[in-house]
Structures are given as C-alpha cells and as structure tokens.
C-alpha cells in the first residue's frame, strides 16, 4: 500500500508538444497488460540522460549511452517485464533489433533510437514480440498516465507529474513519468524516469540541468540500497514551445524540471516495495554536503533502522550507530524525531521520553533530523521502512 500517494489525476498531466506517446500489449512477460511504450520526438529535440553506475549494466543501457552520444535522437522505446540484463552479446543484438525495427517504421537511423528495459534479469529479451507490437504502439494516441502505466513492474501505482513554468517568451510545459519500487539506491538515477519539456534549450545546458536534477531528486532516494542494472533518467526538450532567452529563464526551467523529478522520486519511495512509512532523513551542520549525505545514507540504508521504522520503535541506538558507521565525526551530534530532541552530547537527551518517539514513528510520515555541529552544510534524502511485505515481494518476484 503506497504511503500517501494518490493515483495521478489525468487532468493534471499536460501534453508536451513535440512528444507523441503510444503504448501496446506486447506480452513480454505477461499477457493482457500494457508493457511497451514508444515516445516519438520532434526533429531537432535536445535529449540528455544519466545512467546507472552499476558496472554490470544492461544491454539497453550500453546501447542507449552509445546512441545518445551521437545525438539527434528521434524516439525512445521502453519495455517492461524483461530487463535484458546479464544477457551478453545476444542481449545487445536483441536490443539493437528493436531499435532497427522502430527506426524502420519512423524512417530514421537505428542510432537515433534509445532503448530501455526493466524487469527480470538474465532472461533473453523476447524481441520478436516487441517488434510485432511496435505498429500498435505507433498508431496509439496515449497520454502521460497511460505511458506511466506501461512501464510499471512491482509498482502499485503509476507515477506521473506535470507543471507549467512562465518564461520570458511564454509558458513552457514540463511532464514526466517514472517507475520504481525496489532496487532503489542513489548512484545515478535508480529507476527509469523520463521528463519532457516543450522549451527550447541548447543540448549542453540541458545535459547540465539533467545531472543536477538527478542529484536533487533520484540521487536522493533509497528503498533498499541496491542499484539496478537498468537505471536511466532521460530529459527531452523538443523546442516546440518558448525558447530559453535569459539566465533567469534557464534557472526557472531547471527548477521546474527538478520539481517534476523530485515529485517522481518521492513517489517511488512512497510506493517502495512493502513500504508503510515515508521518512525524510535530514542532516544539517556538516562541513560539506558530501559528508551530510554520507551520514544520511548510512541511516537510510540501515536494515536495522528501517525495520525499527516499520515497528514504530524509536530504537535510538540503531540510528546513532548508523550515523557513527558513516565515518563522519559525530561527537557533537544532536538527533531529532520530527521536532522532538532525543539525543545530544553523545547520549540520550535528559528530557526525552520513549513514548514521544513512539508517537512520531507511528505516523505515516516523519523526519529524522541529525545536527552534526561541524559547519553550515546540509543534505536531505528520502527513504521508507522495511516491512514483512518487502521480503515477500522479493522472495516471490519471479514466480
């Protein structure tokens, strides 16, 4: 059950001029479900992306990286149900075949197509089924909600978000979708995510925006500390809307893209496999943002801490031990659960009562705040608890 995550309202999801969406049922793993998405892009669109840092990356990641470097991307093709990871040279051939087939329909070069896959690892991609379903996807007129549904795996809800931003030349649209519920760890993007805008942005500036947006959103979440083989985050600027004419325009567009990405990233945590709690881990007073993030992730990754979250058990020793395990100096640390000071000066705060901590942790959403007392830097990450259902979902993933 997702934590305070309502289904997206179709009326709130704005179409992006220059992006045509189509979905189909290819039967990649299960019959009768949408599992194929094609995104056709207007000629001249700028496209930027970041990919998983897992060295055991999937065939579509290898091919998408290569094609993206060449530029002039005309389409994205996404399948769910099969990750095409751990498939060697044969996996690359199957991914390339899908790109070739789509390029044939669109009249472009296969290198102008970016492939993406998600699902079970170390199984051969059923390229024949995907190729056969491409015409259906191309004739389909899908919206962003349908596109979000087509890329789900263990997600319980589709993840989609839109907003508009006023630039000096007019109002631009930013819309995006993402999928992810497990194998979520910040090491690039930690899922599949696609964001598009109709604004006109130079390629190099879009690439910089994409990297920073990823760091402030998808690189600030963790479900279980495992980085997937297929993680990819792509941002498209079609240029069919207002142009970015001034530095202020660029800042406003970056803020909008980051806002959409952050909403999608937090939706992934709210829909984390088996999640019952959405937890913000905020670390302040560090010498650098890097050391604050290190402490935050030490807490957010800890299975002992996350199971305590699930039990609504304010086991302070687990949180303090995790912070200390980061390697950062925590000798001046103060620890808060929401606004309740629970530890300071190396030990339990004298005024703290255990029932205060229980009351905070029983809430569906709360904040763990650490003050290091070393400087002025800060960092925030978002995580969830570990429940019985997390184990069940992953134990039965392939059955």
Is there a contact between 35 and 80 (Cβ–Cβ < 8 Å)?
A: yes
Is there a contact between 144 and 135 (Cβ–Cβ < 8 Å)?
A: no
Is there a contact between 193 and 233 (Cβ–Cβ < 8 Å)?
A: yes
| Whole-number Å distance between alpha carbons of 232 and 62 | 11
Which is nearest to 297 in space by CA: 180, 184, 182? 184
Helices 59-70 and 88-106, packing angle to 10 deg:
50
The DSSP call for residue 142 is B
| Whole-number Å distance between alpha carbons of 61 and 117 | 8
Is there a contact between 310 and 277 (Cβ–Cβ < 8 Å)?
A: yes
Rg (CA), the chain: 22
Residues designated as active site: 190
């Amino acid at each position: 059950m997702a934590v305070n995550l309502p289904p997206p309202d179709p009326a709130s999801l704005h179409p992006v001029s220059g992006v045509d969406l189509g979905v189909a049922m290819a039967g990649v793993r299960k019959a009768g479900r949408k599992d194929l998405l094609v995104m056709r892009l207007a000629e001249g669109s700028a496209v930027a992306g970041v990919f998983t840092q897992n060295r055991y990356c999937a065939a579509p990641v290898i091919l998408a990286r290569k094609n993206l470097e060449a530029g002039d991307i005309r389409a994205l093709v996404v399948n769910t149900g099969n990750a095409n990871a751990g498939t060697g040279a044969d996996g690359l051939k199957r991914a390339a075949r899908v790109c070739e087939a789509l390029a044939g329909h669109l009249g472009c070069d296969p290198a102008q197509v970016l492939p993406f896959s998600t699902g079970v690892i170390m199984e051969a991609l059923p390229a024949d089924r995907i190729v056969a379903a491409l015409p259906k996807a191309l004739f389909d007129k899908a919206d962003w909600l349908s596109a979000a549904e087509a890329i789900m795996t263990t997600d319980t809800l589709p993840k989609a978000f839109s907003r508009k931003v006023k630039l000096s030349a007019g109002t631009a649209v930013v819309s995006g979708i993402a999928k992810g519920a497990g194998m979520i760890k910040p090491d690039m993007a930690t899922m599949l995510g696609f964001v598009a805008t109709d604004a006109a942005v130079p390629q190099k500036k879009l690439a910089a925006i994409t990297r920073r947006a990823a760091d402030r959103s998808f690189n600030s979440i963790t479900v279980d500390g495992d980085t997937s083989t297929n993680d990819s985050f792509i941002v498209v600027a079609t240029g069919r809307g207002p142009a970015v004419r001034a530095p202020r325009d660029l800042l406003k567009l970056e803020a909008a893209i980051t806002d959409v990405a952050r909403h999608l990233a937090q939706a992934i945590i709210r829909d984390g496999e088996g999640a019952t709690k959405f937890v913000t881990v905020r670390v302040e007073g560090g010498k650098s943002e890097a050391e604050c993030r290190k402490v935050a992730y030490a807490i957010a990754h800890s299975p002992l801490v996350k199971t305590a979250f699930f039990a609504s058990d304010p086991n302070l020793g687990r949180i303090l031990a995790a912070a200390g395990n980061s390697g950062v100096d925590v000798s001046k640390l103060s620890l808060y659960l929401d606004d309740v000071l629970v530890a300071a000066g190396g030990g339990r705060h004298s005024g703290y009562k255990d029932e205060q901590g229980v009351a905070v942790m029983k809430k569906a959403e709360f904040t763990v705040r650490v003050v290091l007392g070393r400087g002025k830097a800060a960092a925030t990450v978002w995580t969830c608890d570990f429940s019985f259902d997390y184990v069940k979902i992953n134990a039965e993933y392939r059955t």
